[in-house]
Amino acid sequence: MNKIITAICITFFSILGQAQCAAGEVEIELIVHTDNYGYEGYWEITPSGDPCGTNTIASGGNTAVGCNGAGDQSQTPGGYGNNQTITEGPWCLSENTDFALHFIDDWGDGGFSFDVVVNGFQTITLDGIGLGGTYSFIATEPSGHDLSVFSVNMNSYVEFGSYLLECHVFNAGTNAISSYDLNYSVNGGPTFTSTIAAGSLGNYQTESATHSVSLDVTEFGVYTLQIWADQLDGSIADENTSNDTLTKVFEAGPGIPNIIDTYIGAGFMMEQVAGPSQQVNRPTDLDFHPVLTNNELWVTNKGTEASGGSTVTIYNAGEAGQTSIYKQDGNAWHFMSLPTGIAFSQNGNWANSPGVYDANHNGGAAYTGPALWSSDMSIYAEDSGGNGSHLDMLHASPECQGIAAEIDNVFWVFDGYTSDIVRYDFQEDHGPGNDDHGDAIIRRYSDDTVTKDANDQIVSHLVLDKNAQWLYVVDHGNGRVIRIDINTGSDMGGAPNYPNPEPVAEYTEYTGYTQELVISGLNKPSGIDVIDDRLILSDYENGEISIYDISIMPAQLMHTIPTSLSSVQGVKIGPDGRIWFVDYDTDAVNVLTSAPLGVNEIVAEYNLYPNPSTGIFNLHSINAGQILGFSIYDAQGRKVLDEVMNSDFRTIDLTHLPSGLFEVRIQSKLGFSTERLIKE
């Protein structure tokens, strides 16, 4: 639905003249939007149920492709031009009758879209994907009043707080709407209503609307949010209730605890979470899925330029029930060639930054940039019928280094070729395996010069502090870390300075933005992450992970953790607050735990007794529902038990383990606490 709406909003069609159709007929027009390769497409309209070429009502595009040319890759000139919008028709068709649109793509990567217009009103957009296919539409004029809500700014995982709901509302009806009631309820509870003055929202137009009553989240759990519009223009009922309501399921849970200071002045335990046996191979970066309770960790493998990189997804990372899945997209050679970084957005999509100069590998001009993917395993690295499973890709940053997520489908990359920082807004993705990039917004920040590793081995990562709106960038070649205020800078216009740029909605240069030096005089910096006023930074060569105070500038070094490794790349503060990282040479994913753990990071009210004991311990939550679960570690830092609290009292049985010292890490609604247990 989102894809359809966005496409229509860009180009709104109004009929200048109308054919004289007989009674029982309606006037049909087809607006054809081509992609970068207009000659690849051919289409026909037939009665529903008839194959392409039988009882053809209308046709267009490259006749050399025809009904049987899907995937032939004949590259025969003809048909439409590139990135054009063509109006075909009108034709008079029987009202309320089903018809078929057949689309055939010579290359097999889709990219055409078709807007169906009935009596001057748009009714549907059909997206041609992959090799093409047969798509249905009904020759009927839309309802007069038909308003729907199709998106909301609520993430799939949230912490406690108040949230203003910003929705996108779509008018599928023929009548313009000047006002409406926007409503929401949670878990079937009371309805909250806000009256919205729309101005004049016409057929197939959208607008953003913010509900006046905030949604307050005060308890952990899974919520079902329903949002709908009614009372159009004050009192008119919606004539099509089937599309009125948007349902959004989200989870409320604990945030990432800030326990970084527990590493200062303490020892540490390092545990390998995954390695070659899980198919970790030359890892460059890692990131956790935004639903923190999933404890789902994704790792990028570098691979080769020709084959492309791959991913290892680790479920229940670091826990007793840990499992993993290795995947490589069928077209990773283009969309994930030498990936240098991975970053998750809160919507569950993630993007990677290919490190190659030309993702086509044909010796041509620079043509590479970030690629967008779904974390849904039924989509990612599965056959889409098109060009791999990627959701989108843009090609304005060759030799990408690190990547950071901002919001939705917006990401920042380190452009290793031009030595700039670039902001990419994919907007609506084009769907798995397609290639429509025309709605993208690209902004280039080039006041300063950042430099990559000359040997293209050590990655320069970056991370966005979403609260403070500072983008932290590892400038490897200059031995420093800088930060950019993403809300500053002036739009200077401009155009790409490299050959054959692809058409996008916006390409601009930004200058005059606020930039600060964070750390200087570094050796071979690579990975970076931030939480509150703490920054962690990895050094590739000496394997050190350093902790900095960023409440003051330049940042102040507080502590350095010597991992004794010699190729540390990406680092990440995990859902448990611990430091996770990848090591390139040992093909390993590791986690650091501060030791001793006998300091309460965040104190929860509980009793843990008897201690010492012969192996039976009792954990009692004083406040009902406060304790969520716990993990037990032995003296070597290995996790031996991981449990969820389903009541306020739990017996911990360690009788099957040898005597000695253990650490229990308790997760509460306040954060994490740790205690020592002694088994006699």
**pLDDT for residue 636:** 58
Q: Is the pLDDT of residue 10 over 80?
A: no
Res. 4 pLDDT band, cuts 50 70 90: very low
Residue 543 identity: G
Work out the burial of residue 130: count CB atoms within 10 Å of its CB; fewer than 13 is exposed, 13-18 middle, 19 or more buried.
buried
Token pair for 5: 């709406």
* Listed range (22-31, 402-411, 628-637) with the worst mean pLDDT: 628-637
Helix (H) or strand (E) holding 6: helix 2-10
Count Cβ atoms below 10 Å from residue 15 Cβ, excluding itself: 14
φ/ψ of 123, rounded to 5, equals: -120, -30
pLDDT at 151: 92
d(CA 300, CA 284): 6
Q: Token pair of 550, please?
A: 């960023």
Residue 297, token pair as written in the block: 């960790």
Q: What is the pLDDT of residue 543?
A: 94
Could you tell me which residues come within 8 angstroms of residue 290 by beta carbon, excluding any fewer than 6 positions away?
155, 156, 157, 344, 345, 346, 348
| Cβ 224 vs Cβ 186: under 8 Å | yes
**Residue 120 identity:** G
| pLDDT, tens only, 291-333 | 999 999 999 999 999 999 999 999 999 988 899 999 999 999 9
More confident residue, 438 or 294: 294
Region 363-381: what's the mean pLDDT? 93
pLDDT band at 635 (very low <50, low <70, confident <90, very high): low
Residue 127's pLDDT is what? Answer: 87
498: part of which helix (H) or strand (E)? Answer: none
Hey, what are 246's tokens? Answer: 């948007």
pLDDT at 604: 59
String of DSSP letters for 316-330: TTTSTT-EEEEE--T
18-32, 213-227, 661-675 — most confident range: 213-227
Structure confidence by residue, pLDDT tens digits, 530-587: 999 999 999 999 999 999 999 999 999 999 999 999 999 999 999 999 999 999 999 9
Check pLDDT > 90 for residue 602.
Answer: no
Tokens found for residue 164: 């203003």
572: number of CA atoms within 13 Å, CB side? 29
H-run or E-run covering 9: helix 2-10
Are 526 and 581 in contact by the 8 Å Cβ rule? The answer is: no
- From the list 636, 634, 643, 640, the residue with the least C-alpha distance to 663 is 634
Q: What confidence tens digit (pLDDT) does each residue in 203-256 have?
A: 999 999 999 999 999 888 999 999 999 999 999 999 999 899 999 999 998 889
Pick the closest to residue 447 from 514, 525, 369 (CA basis): 514
> Residue 171 above 80 pLDDT?
yes
Q: What are phi and psi of 476, to 5 degrees?
A: -55, -50
What confidence score (pLDDT) does residue 430 get?
A: 85
Report whether pLDDT(649) > 80: yes
Note the pLDDT of residue 598. 42
Question: How does residue 15 score in pLDDT terms, banded at 50, 70 and 90?
Answer: very low
Q: Considering only CA atoms, which of 513, 496, 327, 539 is closest in space to residue 398?
A: 496
Report residue 388 as tokens: 């791999």
pLDDT of 637 reads 60
Give the per-residue SS3 of 364-407: CCCEECCEEEECCCCCCCCCCCCCCCCCEECCECCCEEEEEEEE
What does DSSP say about strands 490-491 and 506-511: parallel, antiparallel, or unpaired? antiparallel
Q: What is the pLDDT of residues 77-89, one digit of tens each?
A: 999 999 899 999 9
| Mean pLDDT calculated for residue range 119-141 | 93
Identify the CA nearest to 251 among candidates 343, 346, 166, 349: 346
pLDDT surpasses 70 at 607: yes
Report the pLDDT value the prediction gives residue 5, as an integer from 0 to 100: 33
Inter-residue contact 89 to 57 (CB < 8 Å): no
Whether the upstream peptide bond of residue 554 has omega within 30° of 0, thus cis, is yes
pLDDT of residue 500: 67
pLDDT of residue 668: 78
Tell me the β-bridge partners of 86. Answer: 32
The answer on pLDDT for 435 being more than 90 is: no
- Confidence band (pLDDT; 50, 70, 90) for 20? confident
What are the pLDDT digits (tens) for 379-402? 999 988 778 999 999 999 999 999
Most confident of 264-278, 410-424, 632-646: 410-424
Backbone angles phi, psi at 225, to 5 degrees: -100, 130
Distance CA 122, CA 8 (A): 8
Is 610 within 8 Å of 619 (Cβ atoms)? no
| In the block, residue with structure tokens 């909605």 | 505
Place of tokens 């006037």: 27
Kindly tell me if the per-residue pLDDT of 497 is higher than 80: no
Average pLDDT over the chain, rounded to an integer: 90
Over range 24-38, report the average pLDDT.
94
pLDDT for 428 beyond 80: yes
Count Cβ atoms within 10 A of the Cβ of residue 221 and give its class: 0-12 exposed, 13-18 middle, 19 or more buried: exposed
In the prediction, which pLDDT does 7 show? 32
Strands 221-230 and 246-252: antiparallel
Of 39-53, 334-348, 425-439, 562-576, least confident by mean pLDDT is: 425-439
Inter-residue contact 272 to 318 (CB < 8 Å): no
pLDDT at 228: 96
For the cut 70, the answer to whether the pLDDT of residue 638 exceeds it is no
Separation between Cα atoms, residue 203 and residue 118, nearest integer Å: 12
pTM: 0.78
The better pLDDT of the pair 625, 557 is held by 557
pLDDT at 279: 98
Query: Is pLDDT of 6 > 60?
Result: no
pLDDT at 462: 97
Per-residue pLDDT for 145 more than 60? yes
